[in-house]
Every structure is written in C-alpha cells, then in structure tokens.
Amino acid sequence: MLKLIKITAISNQLTKMKIKITSNNGETFSAYLKAPTSRPAPGLIIIQEIFGVNEVMRNIADKYAQAGYVAIVPDLFWRQEANIELTDRSESDWQKAFELYQNFDENKGVDDLISTMKTLKELPECTGKIGSIGFCLGGKLAYLMATRSQAECNVSYYGVGIEKNLDEATNIQNPLMLHLAEKDEYVSPEIQSQLKIELSNYPLVTIHSYPNVNHGFARIEGKDYNLEATNLAQNRTMEFFQKYLD
C-alpha cells in the first residue's frame, strides 16, 4: 500500500518521486524513489548510512536508476526523527548521527525494509525481482536482509556489527556480497577475519577486502572517499546485480 506524493520527469529518461510506505503496524514512512523509463525493471533498495536519506543516498539511487533499476531509499529513522539529512562534514552532524544510530532498532528497521520490498514489488514499474545494497548501518541491514527476507540478492558495504548476527548465516538462501574496508575503524581486523572465516562456509556469500581504505570509502565527497576502491567495488556490485536481478 503506497501513496504518491510528488512525481517529476527528469530529462525524459527518469522519473523520481517521494512515496509513503505502510509499515507492518499501520503507520507510514517516506521513501525516495527513482525509476528508469525502460520498464518494468528490477527493484533495488538502497539502505541508508547513519546520516539518513541525504543527498549521498539520493545520488546513489539516481545512478542505479540510470543503470536500469527502480531504486528506492526508505527513511529508516522515521520512528526517531523523520526526514533527517546529515553529513560527515561537521561534529554536530556526527553526534546527531551516532545518537540516532545508538537508539535505532535493527529489527524494526528490517521490518521496514521488508515493507519497502513489498511496496516495490507492487509497483507496475518493477519486474518483482528485488535486491538491496546498504552502507555502514545499511551494510549490516543488507546482511540481515539476506538472512531474513526473500530479496534475490544483497550487497553490504562496510557493515558494522555483522559479527553479532553470524548465527543467522544459516538462513541465507540467496547471494550476498560483502565489501570490507581493511582500515575500517568500526570493524576491527579481528572481526573482519572472523567474518571471512565463518562466512567462508556459505557458498552464497562473497567477500571482497579493500586495503588501505577506511570506513566510508565509497561515500562520494566524504572525508574517507577513495576513487579506486569505489570503482572496483562498484564494478563488482554491478556484475553481481546483473547476474542475479536482470
């Protein structure tokens, strides 16, 4: 069940809109959606970092729409503060982002992502095939989508806290790709080693490591952005989506 709020044509090639999604308890939350004109197309859920649905997340959705996917970015902080947009460029934004992160309920977040997936499947623009891609907090949630949802495939960029839910890996039924930043200050080398060892038992899981880069290496214009690692990860991700969604 969804409500369209605004629809805008973009260069006669893409359509963007803000929609309302009904949660499993009947409340609604917003999402940014961008769709290509070549439809129907596979759906892709872009899962936010701790900074909310900001320009970075919308730009990622725009790029995947240009690549031929119906891309949607749900606002997962709506229970705390709806429509918040933060950056990694100020101390006050970092403090606010960590406050939101620390009070975030991951289980409800996954429920909201599953509600988003159901909504996306209902859209005539979508083929019904759905994948997810998440960054930071969203990287953890992309892993949980692999363990708790029927999404066709999922991609995690520098997900934080995956080790706390490794017991759920037995539930993975569809392909999952993890991108790890070897200098990630939030995911220690010991934890990265643990992930590689324990998830190596699951043939549906692929893990790529990127040396000499920090958490957030794919955040364009972010303080830790690394072009080379971003391009390599992006190429691997696109091949992955083309294989399992197209």
Domain assignments of the chain as residue spans, ordered by start: 2-244
HSE-CB at 237 with a 13 A cutoff on CA atoms is: 24
Exactly one of 75, 88, 184, 224 is catalytic; name it: 184
Place of tokens 């069940």: 1
Token digits for 127? 């083929």
pLDDT interval class at 111 (50, 70, 90):
very high
What span, in angstroms and rounded, lies between the C-alpha atoms of 229 and 181? 9
pLDDT surpassing 60 at residue 120: yes
**Residue 205 is which amino acid?**
V
Predicted local distance difference test score (pLDDT) of residue 14: 60
Name beta bridge partners: 209.
180
Q: How many secondary structure helices (H) and strands (E) does the chain include? A: 6, 9
pLDDT surpassing 50 at residue 206: yes
Average pLDDT over residues 179-206: 98
Average pLDDT over residues 65-93: 97
Angle between helices 137-148 and 106-122 (to 10 degrees): 70
Tens-digit pLDDT profile for residues 17-54: 899 999 999 999 999 999 998 889 999 999 999 999 99
- The answer to whether 130 and 116 have CB atoms below 8 angstroms apart is no
Exactly one of 167, 215, 224, 246 is catalytic; name it: 215
Average pLDDT over residues 183-207: 98
Average pLDDT over residues 115-140: 97
Instruction: Determine whether 215 is an active site residue.
Output: yes
- The answer to whether 71 and 64 have CB atoms below 8 angstroms apart is yes
pLDDT surpassing 50 at residue 10: no
Q: Which helix (H) or strand (E) holds 57?
A: helix 55-66
pLDDT interval class at 196 (50, 70, 90):
very high
pLDDT interval class at 137 (50, 70, 90):
very high
pLDDT surpassing 50 at residue 7: no
Instruction: Determine whether 93 is an active site residue.
Output: no
Q: The whole model's pTM is what?
A: 0.93
Look at the domain 2-244 and name its fold. Answer: Rossmann fold (3.40.50)
Other beta carbons within 10 Å of 127 = 16
Place of tokens 């100020």: 90
Name beta bridge partners: 40.
none
Q: What are phi and psi of 3, to 5 degrees?
A: -125, 125
